[in-house]
Amino acid sequence: MIKNFLVYVLSDSVGDTAEQVARASAEQYKDSDYEIKKYPYVESKTKIDSIIESLNSENSIFVYTIVNKEISEYLRQKCEEKKVPYIDVMAPCLNTFTDFLGQEPVRESGVIRKLDEDYFKRVEAVEFAVKYDDGKDPRGILKADIVLIGVSRSSKTPLSMYLAHKNYKVVNIPLVKGSKVPDELFEVPRRKIIGLMIDPSDLIEIRRERIRVLGLDNSVDYVSIEKIYEELEYAEKIMRKVGCPVIDMTKKAVEEAANLVIDIINDLN
């Protein structure tokens, strides 16, 4: 019975999957001690030769996740030449998936890492949108990928959140007549700013529904058609001053508006 052994963990990515499998397996043998030597980003035969040459114990086993077929096959051959036991963690899964799906895998390394990176970027973007929603902190304007400006209830917040799920860091700034426009708005490139306008009759209906939900008096200036016209005129004036593109949000779904924003931003950058 082997009391001490080395586990060589190799991967053409970071190697977390191979390490977890190796550790979970090795832990099942309580009468033996083990050490893991991890080699991430093994992407060449030269690297494999170097690792094989460094073997300093007969009590070694290789566990690897290498999706590149040529490199994986080369490692297998080297292990067999050295009479070192090996486990190709990916092979059974890929073979079964290939038979099941009737297609060959792309054999691209680091796919999970890329997905994880994408996920964390999305989380960061959503947190950013929440932190800087509705002009809470104008300093966010200077850090944003996209700055949305418009009157209250012109879909700034839902559009910000939707774009955040597309990995864009978005700030939205309400344009309120009588309130100072943040200086930062005039410090960022115009290509980052998008104005949102909406038909007055639609806006008043949206605001009346909002008032009803909040249980407030329907006679407040917030739903006054005269005040709404004044707000929209003021917002249009600011947008002209900024020189930004403007999207008409009347009857537009958030998804449709988001696609327009992305198209505009991509065209201008």
Extended beta strands in 4-81, E state: 4-11, 33-39, 60-65
- 117 within some domain: no
Examine the domain organization and report whether 81 and 140 are in the same domain.
Answer: no
What's the predicted TM-score (pTM) here? 0.63
Q: Is 140 annotated as a binding residue?
A: no
Examine the domain organization and report whether 65 and 197 are in the same domain.
Answer: no
Examine the domain organization and report whether 157 and 48 are in the same domain.
Answer: no
Examine the domain organization and report whether 143 and 60 are in the same domain.
Answer: no
Examine the domain organization and report whether 59 and 154 are in the same domain.
Answer: no
Q: Is 150 annotated as a binding residue?
A: yes
Examine the domain organization and report whether 154 and 96 are in the same domain.
Answer: no
Pairing of strands 146-150, 60-65: unpaired
- The strand order across the sheet containing 146-150 reads 170-174, 146-150, 193-197, 246-248
Please compute the mean of the pLDDT values over residues 125-147 and round it to a whole number.
95
Examine the domain organization and report whether 254 and 159 are in the same domain.
Answer: yes
Q: Is 114 annotated as a binding residue?
A: no
Share of the chain above pLDDT 90, in %: 77
What's the CATH number where 98 sits?
3.40.50.2300
Examine the domain organization and report whether 58 and 84 are in the same domain.
Answer: yes
Please tell me the distance from the alpha carbon of residue 47 to that of residue 133, in angstroms, as a whole number. 49
- 114 within some domain: no
The amino acid that residue 154 corresponds to is S
Pairing of strands 146-150, 86-88: unpaired
pLDDT tens, residue by residue, 191-229: 999 999 999 999 999 999 888 888 777 667 888 899 999
Q: Is 46 annotated as a binding residue?
A: no
Examine the domain organization and report whether 63 and 130 are in the same domain.
Answer: no
Q: Is 25 annotated as a binding residue?
A: no
What is the tally of structural domains in the chain?
Answer: 2
pLDDT category of residue 112 using cuts at 50, 70 and 90: low
Give the range of the structural domain holding residue 242, as residue numbers without chain letter.
Answer: 122-268
Q: Which of 78, 109, 140 is the last residue of a domain?
A: 109
